[in-house]
């Protein structure tokens, strides 16, 4: 594929004092895998810089690593603000913005975010904390900034398969590897009467409900 000069890979991580990057190995594996598959330069120096930044934090910190095809990288940090105890996010489902299940970039976390931004823009922040996207077949895929999880009858969390068109999120991968979740095709009707969560590696699992 032809890579635009401004196209980049992004890893958003939480760093903890004395512990470094949370789920570091999974972030590294995804980052390095994406650089190989997309033909980017060697990411080792950028990743080492991110780990060094994580080692110096004195409070929970949001780290954002951005990496370009030619090897340039940028690391930004900001204080991590946890959600208030008992928070439940209100979910909406995008009606216009759709993902394509076979989209070549959906497996990678990149700066190509137009469809996610369009979905988010369909609802005011006061009306929805997160917006879920469907694919062309009406299957649930993921949120604008999170993966989706629904509690199944056996107590395991259900999360859409990559074949529906979603990011291999680091939290999602960790839950699948720990056998706390399994993949399942999900449609909007599957949210009814179920315990629902959204989540990412930065924030973990967030209780949620369909509210719009």
pLDDT tens digit sequence for 154-202: 999 999 999 999 999 999 999 999 999 999 999 999 999 999 999 999 9
pLDDT at 211: 85
What is d(CA 50, CA 11) in angstroms, rounded to the nearest whole number? Answer: 10
Which domains, ranges and CATH numbers included, belong to the chain? 8-79 (3.30.470.10), 89-210 (3.20.10.10)
Helices (H), 60-179: 114-121, 162-165, 170-177
Sheet strands (E) in 104-173: 130-135, 140-143, 147-151, 157-159
pTM for this prediction: 0.94
pLDDT tens digit sequence for 171-183: 999 999 999 999 9
pLDDT tens digit sequence for 81-104: 999 999 999 999 999 999 999 988
pLDDT at 104: 86
Among the listed residues 54, 40, 43, 35, the one whose alpha carbon sits nearest the alpha carbon of residue 201 = 54
* In contact, 135 and 101? CB cutoff 8 Å: yes
Helices (H), the chain: 24-38, 44-55, 114-121, 162-165, 170-177
pLDDT at position 3 over 80: no
Among the listed residues 148, 161, 125, the one whose alpha carbon sits nearest the alpha carbon of residue 199 = 148
What is d(CA 134, CA 143) in angstroms, rounded to the nearest whole number? Answer: 9
What does the chain come to in residues?
Answer: 212
């Amino acid at each position: 594929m032809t890579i635009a000069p401004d196209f980049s890979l992004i890893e958003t991580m939480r760093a903890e004092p004395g512990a470094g990057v949370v789920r570091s190995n999974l972030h590294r594996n995804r980052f390095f895998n994406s650089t190989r598959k997309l033909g980017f330069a060697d990411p080792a120096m950028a990743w080492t810089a991110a780990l060094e930044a994580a080692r110096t934090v004195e409070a929970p910190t949001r780290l954002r690593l951005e990496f370009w095809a030619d090897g340039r990288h940028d690391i930004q940090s900001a204080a991590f603000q946890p959600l208030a105890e008992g928070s439940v996010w209100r979910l909406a489902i995008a009606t216009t913005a759709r993902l394509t299940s076979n989209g070549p970039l959906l497996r990678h976390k990149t700066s190509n975010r137009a469809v996610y931004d369009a979905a988010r823009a369909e609802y005011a922040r006061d009306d929805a904390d997160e917006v879920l996207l469907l694919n062309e077949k009406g299957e649930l895929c993921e949120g604008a900034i999170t993966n989706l999880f629904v509690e199944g009858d056996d107590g395991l969390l259900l999360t859409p398969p990559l074949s529906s068109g979603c990011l291999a999120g680091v939290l999602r991968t960790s839950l699948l590897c720990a056998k706390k979740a399994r993949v399942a095709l999900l449609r909007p009707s599957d949210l009814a009467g179920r315990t629902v969560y959204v989540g990412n590696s930065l924030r973990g699992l967030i209780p949620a409900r369909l509210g719009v």
